[in-house]
Amino acid sequence: MAQETHTAAAGTWTLGDLTVNRLGFGAMRLTGSAAFDLGAARDRDRSMGVLRRAIELGVNHIDTASFYFSSLRSANELINSALAPYPDDLVIATKVWPARDPSGDWWWATPEQLRGQVEENLRQLGRDHLDVVNLRVPPSRGSGSIAEHFGALAELRDAGLIRHLGLSNVTPEQLAEARAIAPVVCVQNAYGIGAPAHEQALLRSCGEQGIAYVPFFAIAGAGREAGPSAADSAAVLAVARAHDATPAQVRLAWTLRQGPHVLAIPGTGDPDHLEENVAAAALRLSDDEVSALTEDATPSR
């Protein structure tokens, strides 16, 4: 896996009218050693270097949010400083509904406050419109209605502030509710080896509807924002040895094998990890290896 790989090796998908390479980049870890940590910030030049190197390696889909910040760093500001003027083919996706105040405490926007969140992303990124905005549904909303919030975003789309709409942390029922209001180009949910059956069903349903499925925590799994926490299974380690790859690369390759509509957005602030993640675009797992990884995993609860 030492040879340099371009993200195009994983193929492409179209978000509405925007074509992206299926292996993209998540900006969450650019600001600090741990997500949402207000402590020590990452070196600014190093984070900007990771972004520029990602573009060199073919990344043209970056996932971010205005609430990705540490005491001294903002992911959106880093993206703007490192990459503007932006490449013509770069698609930047962001998220609204959750927010953090300067102390790091979370709050959730009302439908009327979503415009302010969209405008905040526009200012930070230096854009006159946002390519993709995902409505990130709070855990407390569960299976409740998202119509008011998604309807407010649809109005901002009609006003030209947003090009395409997506959803994050949603159920099939919420997806259907949103699609009755406006087109949905992507669903961004937690997913990876060991994902529960209902999430696997949603992934397949998105493919049938022509909607991109964009897993987050594909590498971290149950570790979520804190990063990988559990030891890798024997199956993951065996496949990694067979391909001279890392377990993280195996997890990404398995994720991309779940369907041509599945995109990956692994994030890192480490230039070496970036190279490893991108190399997973060229890692080809056999059908037997994919089955072994799937069967070996214990679905998360």
Cβ(122)–Cβ(163) below 8 Å: no
Q: Does residue 191 have an active-site annotation?
A: no
Residues 6+ apart with CB under 8 A from 223: 217, 229, 230
Write down the catalytic residue from 68, 86, 191, 213.
68
- In a 10 Å sphere around its CB, with 0-12 CB exposed, 13-18 middle and 19+ buried, how is residue 143 labelled? exposed
Give the Cβ contact number of residue 177 at 10 Å.
18
| C-alpha to C-alpha distance for 270 and 50, rounded to whole angstroms | 7
The closest of 74, 78, 77, 114 to 98, measured between CA atoms, is 114
Q: Enumerate the β-bridge partners of residue 188.
A: 168
What residues act catalytically? 68
